[in-house]
Amino acid sequence: MSATVLDGKSLAQEIRAEIADQVAEFTRKGGAVPCLAAVLVGEDPGSQVYVRNKEKACKKAGMRSLLHLLPTETTTGELLDLVARLNADRSVHGILVQLPLPRQIDETRVLDAVDPLKDVDAFHPENVGRIVQGRPRYLPCTPHGIRELLLRNRIPVAGQNVTVIGRSDIVGKPMAIMLMQRSEGANATVTVCHSRTKDLPAVTRQADILVVAIGKPKFVTAGMVKPGAVVIDVGINRTNQGLVGDVDFESVKEVAGQITPVPGGVGPLTIAMLLHNTLAAARLQAGGA
């Protein structure tokens, strides 16, 4: 029997409708319209599409969106100057620097320069530290979206064996930390796999929940998945056959119990949680909880 497909697109629409209601209530009570400033350096097509989708999502949620387009040859200093101006602009509540940045830019310096209160991607060391300690200000958007997917589909996590393939700062590491916390939707036993992991299929076949964020098209195959497991595919890979995930969906769906598609799985939830964080930032900067 084929796996149940976890529809991230429909869930994201539900979450975005909730956020729109919350934004309306916040502004009705005198709060400023939440504003997200996105910074895009260069002309990466994937990043351009993603940023445009964020702009549209902000508008639908009743938020303001500012887009700063910078040329590919932008220097670290020039980008730091823009970040400083956005930090000082009290009408801007969230700052998103779209990654990846061109090679000549010091990515770490730029991300560290974003005001932690406006760091709606949760990349600043202060916000990362708060996540590790279990007292987050904001949660990273993609892992947060995955947590919402698990919670709202009533998928048990506590006590489950969860394997995360990939150890990036954006998905793998924060996902593992969040799932092991003493909190709702967590309390899992977590294994993190990567390029140095020995006998990867033997490890992944132990997972009740498998989160795949490795950036390799159709990397995870049916033989790597425990029958009945929940498979969360974070990958978005552009191929000659169109968009595909890090999971070989057609084969794995015959083994897994539940699985996310690509597109229409985790991606829409990432944008929904960015809106969530932007509203949270506006509340914090207004002196709210």
Q: Give all strands (DSSP E) within the chain, no chain letters.
A: 4-5, 35-41, 64-70, 94-97, 161-165, 189-193, 209-212, 230-233, 237-239, 242-244, 258-259
Q: Are strands 161-165 and 94-97 parallel, antiparallel or unpaired?
A: unpaired
**Number of other residues whose CB lies within 10 A of the CB of residue 30:** 7
**Number of other residues whose CB lies within 10 A of the CB of residue 192:** 18
pTM metric for this prediction:
0.95
Catalytic residues, by residue number, are: 54, 98, 121
Domains and CATH numbers, the chain: 32-121 (3.40.50.10860), 141-266 (3.40.50.720)
* Closest of 74, 54, 50 to residue 63, by C-alpha: 54
Strands, sheet with 64-70, edge to edge from the N-terminal-most edge strand? 64-70, 35-41, 94-97
Task: Tell me the Ramachandran region of residue 159: left when phi exceeds 0, alpha when psi lies from -120 to 50, beta otherwise.
Answer: left
The secondary structure of residue 225, as a DSSP letter, is S
The per-residue pLDDT for 287 is: 87
Q: Are strands 64-70 and 35-41 parallel, antiparallel or unpaired?
A: parallel
* Residues in contact with 21: Cβ distance below 8 Å, sequence separation at least 6, in sequence order: none
The per-residue pLDDT for 288 is: 63
The per-residue pLDDT for 213 is: 98
Residue-level pLDDT, tens digit, the chain, 289 residues: 799 999 999 999 999 999 999 999 999 999 999 999 999 999 877 777 777 888 899 999 999 999 999 999 999 999 999 999 999 999 999 999 999 999 999 999 999 999 999 999 999 999 999 999 999 999 999 999 999 999 999 999 999 999 999 999 999 999 999 999 999 999 999 999 999 999 999 999 999 999 999 999 999 999 999 999 999 999 999 898 889 999 999 999 999 999 999 999 999 999 999 999 999 999 999 986 5
Encoded tokens for 54: 């964020």
